[in-house]
Structures are given as structure tokens and as C-alpha cells.
């Protein structure tokens, strides 16, 4: 699966993988867990406002900083390590990142958690966004361990984030902000990209 793969194929794969993740964290206990492809895509479309490209109308920078700090503290406790963070990205719809060092994981790569300024969307990646075709590829290569993924997803959900599988964010973007994005954009460009 690569950039430009039809949305239905990528989303179906992402949702199938998401079902595995949700079972590991007791789905149903948090309203932010999105259950299916249609709900995830509907959420992305709902958050997409071409008049507010870099952040949503209701964006609260202080709340975003607090949320990232709480998730970081939880991951540092869960992985028994110090996690580097990048905050308040300029000219980007991504607020920040949390980097869990590879040495603290069961896989061979570091875990990168990207949090958007939109709806507290979050994506979990092995090494860097786009370094693998997606989560399944990272599992197959040994870069990411399912137990580590479940741990990160649980922390994100606990602090109000909506986790979107990387595979879904690689779907072609076709929303109303299209004229403002370069080239052949994907959903990741819209909610985690640079403007």
C-alpha cells in the first residue's frame, strides 16, 4: 500500500488493524474511540474547515500544551524512560510530537506520536511518519510491537485524543481545503502538514 492507494482499501486495512488495538484497550470505555471507517472519515471531514487551515476556530494553545505534557508524562511512566517532545509547530496543523526511544520499546524503532491541532487527532508511527507503509508493515518488520502500540493508544485516549491509523491518513485528500494544499495531498497533509 502506497501513497495514492484508494481510500476504501487503506481505510478497510486501518479499521481491521484498529479492531485489534481496541480489543487490547477495552473498547467502549471511552467515547473518543471511533469504531469504523465511515466514522473516522466523517470525523476528518467534520474537522476540515478551509477557512481555518493551521488550527481550528476553537483552538486553545494552552490546552494543547497541557494535553501533550500529560500524554508525555504517562508515556514516560509506562515506558520507564524520558521522551523528547516537539511542541507548538509553526505553520503546521500538527501541534507537536512525542518521541519514545527505541531502547525503551519491544520493537526495533522509536515510536513517534504526532498530535494535531484539530480535534486532538493523533497518529502513532514507527520511526517517523511514513517510514513504513503503515502499522502492519511496522509489525511485520519488527519495528513496532502490538503491546507497545496498545500502551501508547491507551495513553492518548485517556487524555482525550482520537487515534487515527496511519494507513487512513495516507488516503488521498479530497476535502474543501484542497486548493490550499500542494501536489497530490493526503489526509495527513491536511491535519499534520505544513502550510
> Structure pTM?
0.82
Evaluate whether 18 touches 166 at the Cβ level (below 8 Å).
no
- pLDDT digits over 63-108, tens only? 999 999 999 999 999 999 999 999 988 889 999 999 999 999 999 9
Bridge partners of 172? 186
Concatenating the DSSP letter of every residue in 35-49 gives: -SHHHHHHHHHHH--
Q: Which residue has the cell 509489525?
A: 139
The domain ranges of the chain are 7-192
Contacts of 8 (CB under 8 A, 6+ apart): 37
Amino acid at each position: 500500500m502506497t501513497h495514492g492507494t484508494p481510500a476504501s482499501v487503506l481505510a478497510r486495512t486501518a479499521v481491521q488493524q484498529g479492531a485489534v488495538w481496541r480489543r487490547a484497550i477495552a473498547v467502549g470505555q471511552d467515547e473518543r474511540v471511533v469504531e469504523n471507517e465511515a466514522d473516522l472519515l466523517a470525523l476528518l471531514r467534520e474537522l476540515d474547515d478551509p477557512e481555518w487551515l493551521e488550527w481550528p476556530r476553537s483552538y486553545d494553545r494552552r490546552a494543547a500544551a497541557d494535553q501533550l505534557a500529560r500524554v508525555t508524562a504517562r508515556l514516560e511512566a509506562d515506558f520507564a524512560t524520558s521522551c523528547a517532545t516537539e511542541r507548538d509547530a509553526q505553520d503546521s496543523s500538527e501541534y507537536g510530537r512525542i518521541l519514545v526511544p527505541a531502547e525503551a520499546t519491544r520493537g526495533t524503532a522509536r515510536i513517534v506520536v504526532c498530535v494535531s491541532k484539530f480535534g486532538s487527532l493523533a497518529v502513532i508511527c514507527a520511526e517517523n511518519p511514513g517510514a513504513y507503509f503503515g502499522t502492519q508493515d511496522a509489525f511485520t518488520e519488527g519495528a513496532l510491537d502490538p503491546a507497545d502500540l496498545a500502551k501508547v493508544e491507551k495513553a492518548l485516549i485517556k487524555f482525550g485524543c482520537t487515534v487515527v491509523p496511519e494507513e487512513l491518513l495516507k488516503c488521498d485528500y479530497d476535502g474543501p481545503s484542497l486548493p490550499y494544499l500542494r501536489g497530490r495531498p493526503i489526509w495527513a497533509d491536511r491535519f499534520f502538514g505544513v502550510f
